[in-house]
Chains A and B, each alone.
Chain A
Amino acid sequence: MSDSHGEDYSLETNVAAASDAHNTQLRQTLRNMEHAGVCCHPHHLHSFQPVHFHLLSALKKCACCHERLQTFGGAAQVVCVACGAMAHRVCAMSSSIWKDVCPVNATKVNHEIIEPKITHQPAVSVEENQDHHFTRAFSNVKNAIGKTLSSHPETTTPPEGNNHSLSLHHQFSSVARVLQEHIMEQFRKHDTEDSSYVDVGEESFSRLGTTAVVVVGGIAGGVAGLALAAGPAMAMAGAVGILAESSVSVGVLVAGVATGSLTARQIQQERQRQRILTMGDEGMSQKILLVRPNIQMDPIWDTITAQAYASRPNCSRDHHRDVDIVKTAEDEIPTEEKVLLLVSRLLNDKYSLPGHMYRALIQAFRDRCTERASAAGRFRRDDAHAIIKHITATLLQVRAEFSASPYLTERTASAVETLVLGQIYTLVWDEILVETADQDEALKQKVTQFNLLEYDENGTHVFVSDKIPSKLERNVSQAALAAIRQLPQCHTTADKLTSCVQFLQHISEHFAAMDGQLLLSAESLLQMVCQHLWICMSLHAAELHAEITFLEEFARDEQLLRGREGYALVTLQAALHFLDNSTDIDHVFGTEDDDDDDVNDDDTFENVPENGY
């Protein structure tokens, strides 16, 4: 491959250059998938999945170390979906201490092919072989999972007479469903987003290989299907980075450190957009945005997270005491509050892994703010996103319940966000204030200038006033002004959005009471919102641009786009945009246009039955 291939070349080189034992595992796993249709660990050949609870564990021994397993307490366990053997999770991760291989998978996999001969080939051959295998494995896996992809025929169409597809499908069915979802998601991404490999033959291999490494690296590095509820032992830093950034169900796929760091870097470089968690079966998956797509997180947070993890406390935490929250009736404590309570309890427990990570990352954030006190830009917000992401990922790995559904994962992320912002709000807010100072100042100047004038009965500006223009006093809802003035006291997006909704509702109710109207149309509402914001700016030193910027920064898309909160935020954004671009006060208050001045225009519902249109 030529140098002209730029990034592809470097990525491929990276992949090939990482010709250590770990990469060997990746290739071997790929080859097993391709040739035997078995998704298994390349050395001991087991297809392990986590065991959350197994009543008969105490009757079984670890297939690796042969120590007796425990039903309650003890180390996390896994079970091979092929032969049923159980093992400690840590044993399952180890390649070197296994003496026996999975008897079921061994009949399907020719053990000869997994010998790491390929790693001793010259670099060029390694790449070619690797690409070849990645390509074919990619093709087979796609066929196996029933995808109809329209990409390059060389990379997607199985060879004539290829009889691996069915068996591969069968084998993948036996592997953790969540792992399949991850694989499907990865290939879906390629199918829909990465057109480069569709259009170029050999050049596509590196990207394809990268994806294959991402997918299969998780398998080889961390044993297929070892999943979230198994505890934090495998929550290695690199894996956390991958899981939260590559459209993987968090905690579903646990990779080894080497694979984790490699793929995390690649994803960081190549797939900034992919920070959406996808959960559920194909076709019914729901995406949960954990990190906004435009956020550029400093890779140093991978290191900070790894260091925090390395210094984790050894004390165990008994989750059973959470039963008092979990088993309380829903009408007593709604699910949303249960999530917040549980997350809060976990993060406040410094002996829990999430609690430890929470403290360590918050401290790291503060240290970075001190070190970079003079730095301009938005690094504090990016760092805040990184903290929220890593802590959420840790929580999801430690507590399976939090990832039981997209809704719960969403609530978990919101709870983390609330608690994290509660700690670092002032630092983040200060950064936003600096950024929006000019906009807020310009609007204040405009308001001050216009407020020097007031109308007489002939509509002429006559005297100076810094109060609400007398003609408008009747239109002003004091409750709405109070609601908007609450924004600075709210330190989370949820609280701020609640205030925004109240603001709009008070305006709506005020006019309903004042004019006997039932409902205010969007046209009238927007005009009144503009006027109230104007008055708010003139009476108080409101930093409205900063408030909206904060909400745009930290409200996830569901909040931004949906529900009353979404409508309130969009209306405030629109009103502020309108005020920023207004050139005179008549434009704001609609006094230049009689049609616009009347909130009872014919677009308001109440006029219909009486006056027709």
Chain B
Amino acid sequence: MNSNIGPSSPAASRVHHFKLVLLGDTAVGKSCLVVRFVRDEFFEFQEPTIGAAFLTQTVQLDDAMVKFEIWDTAGQERYRSLAPMYYRGASAAIVVYDITNPDSFAGAKSWVKELQRRGDPNVVIALAGNKADLEGRRKVEFEEAAAYAAENGLLHLETSAKNSNNVKALFVEIAKKLPKNPPQPEREAFPIMPQQPEKQGCC
């Protein structure tokens, strides 16, 4: 399936909106990942954001356009209890870990577990092994993470925010997996209908 970023085809009118939340331990590169995805693909009509914490980006699929509303979260342990406020109502989640840090992979597992327990039952979860460019410092084997993802029904990719490898693919794969309900138009005109006066009664 082909995919592009930004509105470039007639199908642009069919926009599906999804809330996507980024989860993972601190310093695994969550913000880097999403900013790489959003900023590398310039979108003329980019909406205002709140730093790297709240961003939007659109993915063009063959049959639909998916607009992600990306919510970054704080990964520090002291903010951990606040995460449910952020992932409430999310259609998709990217749980990020650092392939050079096995603790972050353990943390990712706990995020997945929490999402499965407390998140939306239909949430699409992707497991992203970030910093894949640091192959020489790898501590989390691809096979191990892939097996865990398969076991839990997760998408799994290794990404590099530094060289953009698999970043776009990650979001496209999520976009493909999300259900596409008939979208509502972004803007619509106020209907003009013949009116009846409010006068009541007859006969």
Q: Given the complex, which residues of A lie within 8 Å of B98, measured CB to CB?
A: 613
Within 8 A of A (CB), among B25-40: 26-32, 35-36, 39
Within 8 A of A (CB), among B170-203: 181-182, 184-185, 187-203
Between-chain CB contacts (< 8 Å), 11 pairs: A52-B193, A74-B199, A75-B200, A283-B181, A319-B198, A406-B184, A519-B51, A522-B74, A570-B71, A603-B27, A608-B36
Q: Are A523 and B195 in contact (CB under 8 A)?
A: no
Q: Are B203 and A523 in contact (CB under 8 A)?
A: no
Q: Given the complex, which residues of B lie within 8 Å of A338, measured CB to CB?
A: 190
Q: Are B31 and A335 in contact (CB under 8 A)?
A: no
Chain B: which residue is nearest A613 at the CB level?
A: B131
Q: Are B52 and A604 in contact (CB under 8 A)?
A: yes
How many angstroms from the CA of A578 to the CA of B48 in the assembled complex?
27
Contact among B19, B49, B162 for A562, CB-based, below 8 A: B19
For the side of the interface on A, what is the size category?
A: 35 or more
14 additional A-B residue pairs with CB within 8 Å, beyond A319-B195, A401-B190, A570-B86: A53-B194, A76-B200, A316-B199, A408-B188, A505-B48, A519-B35, A519-B51, A519-B52, A522-B74, A523-B75, A562-B17, A564-B54, A604-B32, A608-B162
Residues of A within 8 A of B (CB): 52-53, 62, 64-65, 67, 73-76, 88-91, 229-233, 280, 283-284, 286, 314, 316-320, 322, 326-327, 330, 334-335, 338-339, 352-353, 398-401, 404-408, 501, 504-505, 508, 511-512, 518-527, 557, 561-564, 567-568, 570-571, 573-574, 577-578, 587, 595-596, 601-605, 608-609, 612-613
Contact among B131, B189, B191, B200 for A232, CB-based, below 8 A: B200
CB distance from A305 to the nearest CB of B (A): 17
Within 8 A of A (CB), among B61-117: 69, 71-76, 78-79, 81-82, 85-86, 88-89, 98
How many angstroms from the CA of A353 to the CA of B199 in the assembled complex?
10
Known: A230-B196, A561-B88. A523 touches B76 (CB 8 A): yes
Q: Are A522 and B72 in contact (CB under 8 A)?
A: yes
Chain B: which residue is nearest A605 at the CB level?
A: B35
Q: Are B79 and A73 in contact (CB under 8 A)?
A: no
Known: A405-B184, A608-B162. A231 touches B52 (CB 8 A): no
For the side of the interface on B, what is the size category?
A: 35 or more
Q: Given the complex, which residues of A lie within 8 Å of B161, measured CB to CB?
A: 608
Q: Are B52 and A229 in contact (CB under 8 A)?
A: no
Q: Given the complex, which residues of B lie within 8 Å of A407, measured CB to CB?
A: 184-185, 188
Chain A: which residue is nearest B73 at the CB level?
A: A522
Q: Given the complex, which residues of B lie within 8 Å of A231, measured CB to CB?
A: 196-200
Chain A: which residue is nearest B161 at the CB level?
A: A608
Known: A233-B201, A608-B32. A520 touches B52 (CB 8 A): yes
CB distance from B194 to the nearest CB of A (A): 4
Q: Are A52 and B198 in contact (CB under 8 A)?
A: no
Q: Is B50 an interface residue (CB 8 A)?
A: yes
Q: Are A501 and B197 in contact (CB under 8 A)?
A: no
Q: Among A88, A602, A603, A609, which residue has the most Cβ atoms of chain B within 10 A?
A: A603
Chain A contact surface mostly: helix
How many angstroms from the CA of A398 to the CA of B27 in the assembled complex?
56
Q: Are B197 and A318 in contact (CB under 8 A)?
A: yes
Q: Are A504 and B50 in contact (CB under 8 A)?
A: yes
CB distance from A391 to the nearest CB of B (A): 15
Chain B: which residue is nearest A596 at the CB level?
A: B76
Q: Is B154 an interface residue (CB 8 A)?
A: no
Q: Is B53 an interface residue (CB 8 A)?
A: yes
Contact among A314, A401, A525, A605 for B193, CB-based, below 8 A: A401
Known: A231-B196, A319-B195, A577-B82. A339 touches B202 (CB 8 A): no
Q: Are B51 and A613 in contact (CB under 8 A)?
A: no
CB distance from B112 to the nearest CB of A (A): 19
Q: Given the complex, which residues of A lie within 8 Å of B48, measured CB to CB?
A: 505, 564
CB distance from B30 to the nearest CB of A (A): 6
Chain B: which residue is nearest A577 at the CB level?
A: B82
CB distance from A149 to the nearest CB of B (A): 20
Q: Given the complex, which residues of B lie within 8 Å of A523, measured CB to CB?
A: 26, 31, 74-76, 79
How many angstroms from the CA of A532 to the CA of B161 in the assembled complex?
31
How many angstroms from the CA of A128 to the CA of B52 in the assembled complex?
64
Q: Given the complex, which residues of A lie within 8 Å of B30, measured CB to CB?
A: 521-522, 603
Contact among A353, A505, A612 for B50, CB-based, below 8 A: A505
